[in-house]
Chain A
Amino acid sequence: ETGVTQSPTHLIKTRGQQVTLRCSSQSGHNTVSWYQQALGQGPQFIFQYYREEENGRGNFPPRFSGLQFPNYSSELNVNALELDDSALYLCASSWTGSTDTQYFGPGTRLTVL
């Protein structure tokens, strides 16, 4: 077990709706990264938060946004959902500045109809 948890496990939304996914990082980790994993693909980096500030962003539009809170929790928000947003969303926690790597949660499976 990595100590990283995510909620909900899965959810179904319709096109145009908004969704909030939640993550609780491993205790003591100051960095959270979010990834999108489409079926049959490797995870793609969405963005990273370090000390509650965005610290790097992948090739995703602004309707993907996030928040990180002081209590090791974080959120991924997606507005104006599109069918192609259907994927497994993974959060990963780490300690910036160390040589250690990222540890993933179980993911939230989002289906957009």
Chain B
Amino acid sequence: QKEVEQDPGPLSVPEGAIVSLNCTYSNSAFQYFMWYRQYSRKGPELLMYTYSSGNKEDGRFTAQVDKSSKYISLFIRDSQPSDSATYLCATRTQGGSEKLVFGKGTKLTVNP
């Protein structure tokens, strides 16, 4: 079993739709949770970063963490064509080498 599971999609939605992206993880030692956005042939760009269970909102983006079910989500409201990218969930433990463990990424296309 992979440490972080993420449906690779692809996911195609119309402009203005609400997008839901999800990951599950297996290691209860993971304490920090991130969502990165990666445009084609570019490096990952940090979108959201959370530590505890609950919701964190930043503009049109909401990150949700449920540690009891080991489930993390990213919601995008009023999606735009510029949101078309691959979204990577990532997590890490507290301390140690701080290596990030990534999901495979979900490729999202928002159609005008």
Contacts and interface: CB of A to CB of B under 8 A. Distances in A.
Interface of A: 2, 4, 6, 31, 33, 35, 40-45, 48, 55-56, 58, 88, 90, 92, 94, 96, 99-107, 109
Contacts, number: 69
Contact of A104 (B8, B41, B45, B49): B45
A33 to B, nearest CB: 7
A102 B98 contact: yes
A104 B43 contact: yes
Given A33-B99, A45-B99, A58-B99, A107 B43 contact: yes
A104 B37 CA distance: 11
A48 B97 contact: yes
B30 interface: no
A106 B34 contact: no
Interface string B53-97: 000000000000000000000000000000000001010100011
